[in-house]
Amino acid sequence: MYRSHNCGELNVSHINTEVTLAGWVQKSRDKGFMNWVDLRDRYGVTQLIFDESRSQKEVFELAKTLGREFVIQAKGTVIEREAKNATMATGDIEILVTELKILNAALTPPFTIEDETDGGEDIRMKYRYLDIRRNPVKNNLLFRHKVAMEVRKYLSDLDFCEIETPYLIKSTPEGARDFVVPSRMNEGQFYALPQSPQTFKQLLMVGGMDKYFQIVKCFRDEDLRADRQPEFTQIDCEMAFVEQEDILNIFEGLTRHLLKEIKGIEVEKFPRITYDYAMKTYGNDKPDIRFGMEFGELNEFTQNKEFSVFNTAELVVGIAVPGAGEYSRKEIDALIEWIKRPQIGASGMVYAKCNEDGTFKSSVDKFYDQEDIANWAKTTGAKPGDMIFVLSGPADKTRTQLSALRMELANRLGLRNPAEFAPLWVVDFPLLEFEEETGRYHAMHHPFTSPKPEDMHLLETNPKAVRANAYDMVLNGNEIGGGSIRIHDKTTQQLMFKYLGFTPEQAEDQFGFLMNAFQYGAPPHGGLAFGLDRLVSILGGQETIRDFIAFPKNNSGRDVMIDAPSIIDELQLNELHIKLDLV
């Protein structure tokens, strides 16, 4: 036993107790005749005291040699502190040390092991094991564990069974890119790492394993955007004999449970909005509804006037920004520049200030009178002191641009309170999405998603109008989960592959096992998956998922701590029956 107690648990009730602690030297203050050391472990910090008059000489001298992050073991007596520290759990006591042992010395860490560190992202990633000693990172990992445990308990209590699906599966050319694994035993052949356990969970439903879940790593070899990881974790769920309503209820229940248990927050029944409503109202299928700024469509108040930009636009749409009526001309110009950046791509922006006296001052006063703008204000919900911003152009593009502006302004105005949680369901997603590049439709969710039966007849004539039994759970502007009712008969699944441009041979080759399974008594089924990394980071009130992953990869998919990926030797390549093919 290296310790009798941890560094977070001692208090006045332990005074005069003999204790042994072990941990890291957080800091040491040497006053000559007196020396204090803050000793840290996972559980907290406890102050050690070495006193020339009360400590043995060797112990006193040894204490003076301790550097930051030395690992030590200290035995001593709990005594009451003279100068109590109310900000520390153990702040009422200190340990008068009688025995001291250095368990391991430490080089000076390359950055400070403090809540606010002087280390940049790169150096912290290279020495991630030191970064993890810092409270913010440590607490995030503990928090993640707590969330995962609550998920498992909740679902287990509802009779869900966690089942491990394989990691070495079959590669399919469809969708985002697979990581592949050459097989030594099966020459010239490859496994793939799962992008999700989708087909396996459906096969479990065919297998009668009703109510499946799994917290599982998934893999996607795609170019990494700022906050994506090549390996990520899903809470993957599936149920048999269910309709969409059943799924929404169960997983709304799970999310409410998490908010209550983890955050102490009770939320109302989740609003449900359709995809179409979300796009029209927020320009976004994962709207942040913690603040208003809902879109107002202004076509009827803007067209057939002299302003040709609006006259010819498919959509004229605005938002009322609370308190932005005070924006200076300079601020507005900067905002217009911002929205014209290539990433957003608006060609310009019209604004109208709502004066306190009920009048308006717009950038298009030449074309629109006060009554016109009053209608804009009414439609966007603008109040005196607000600013109305208006964009125009092709409907889809313009909505996306206005959504970006809405989120940007909400961030600037501090309207996205991380302590507030506003979950909702977005339902009735389109089944198909037209891809300009390839000139064909692909599945918006995935090829196993069931079309709504009442829209099936539109598949041939108006594919874009076919709605799916698909749904997303959205929290504070992020999709945290999504799923669908699945196709469960071979004929519909074949039809779907046909519409997605598969030849019958391709469909059979890649998904024959699934369609075959559907012939042996497949129940109606559906499910969803949560992104655990994202869920945890939002519940934790933080922005980046990397902060909730013990050993994340950087934007090039590299683990800079262990230096992976790396080259492997010729012998290994030979055994795998591959060779390099470098450009």
Window of 280-288, 398-406, 423-431, 543-551 that interacts with a second copy by CB under 8 A:
543-551
In a 10 Å sphere around its CB, with 0-12 CB exposed, 13-18 middle and 19+ buried, how is residue 127 labelled?
Answer: middle
Residue 456 interacting with a second copy (CB under 8 A)? no
The identity of residue 577, as a single letter, is H
Strand partners, 427: 274, 471
Can you spell out the DSSP letters for 4-56? SS-TT---GGGTT-EEEEEEEEEEEEE-SSEEEEEEEETTEEEEEEEETTTS-
Q: Is residue 508 within 8 Å of 172, Cβ to Cβ?
A: no
Binding mask 471-500 for a second copy (x = CB under 8 A): -----------------xx-----------
Q: What does the alpha-carbon distance between residue 38 and residue 27 come to, in Å, rounded to a whole number?
A: 5
Residue 336 interacting with a second copy (CB under 8 A)? no
Binding-site positions:
174, 220-222, 229, 445, 479, 486, 531-534
- Helix (H) or strand (E) run with residue 142 in it: helix 135-157
Residue 437 interacting with a second copy (CB under 8 A)? no
Binds a second copy (CB under 8 A): choice among 10, 24, 386, 507: 24
- Alpha carbons within 13 angstroms on the beta-carbon side of residue 65 total 13
Binding mask 202-231 for a second copy (x = CB under 8 A): -xx-xxxxxx-----x-x-x-xx-----xx
Q: Count how many residues are written for the chain.
A: 583
Residue number with CB closer to a second copy (169 or 309): 169
Residue number with CB closer to a second copy (417 or 519): 519
Residue number with CB closer to a second copy (145 or 378): 145
How far CA 521 is from CA of 207, 294, 350, 515, 525, in Å, comes to: 9, 47, 59, 11, 12
Residue number with CB closer to a second copy (16 or 566): 566
Tokens at residue 286, please?
């994962």
Residue 195 interacting with a second copy (CB under 8 A)? no
Give least dist CB 553 to a second copy, A: 7
Q: What does the alpha-carbon distance between residue 305 and residue 368 come to, in Å, rounded to a whole number?
A: 8
Give least dist CB 253 to a second copy, A: 15
Binding-site positions for L-aspartate:
174, 220, 445, 486
Binding mask 40-79 for a second copy (x = CB under 8 A): xxx--------------------------xxx--------
Residue 129 interacting with a second copy (CB under 8 A)? yes
Binds a second copy (CB under 8 A): choice among 29, 184, 341, 378: 184
- Region 495-534 residues binding a second copy, contact defined as CB under 8 A: 513, 517-524
Residue 565 interacting with a second copy (CB under 8 A)? yes
3-state secondary structure at position 96: strand
- Helix (H) or strand (E) run with residue 312 in it: none
Give least dist CB 498 to a second copy, A: 21
Query: Token match 């208003």: residue?
Result: 292
Residue number with CB closer to a second copy (498 or 577): 577
Binds a second copy (CB under 8 A): choice among 54, 85, 98, 167: 167
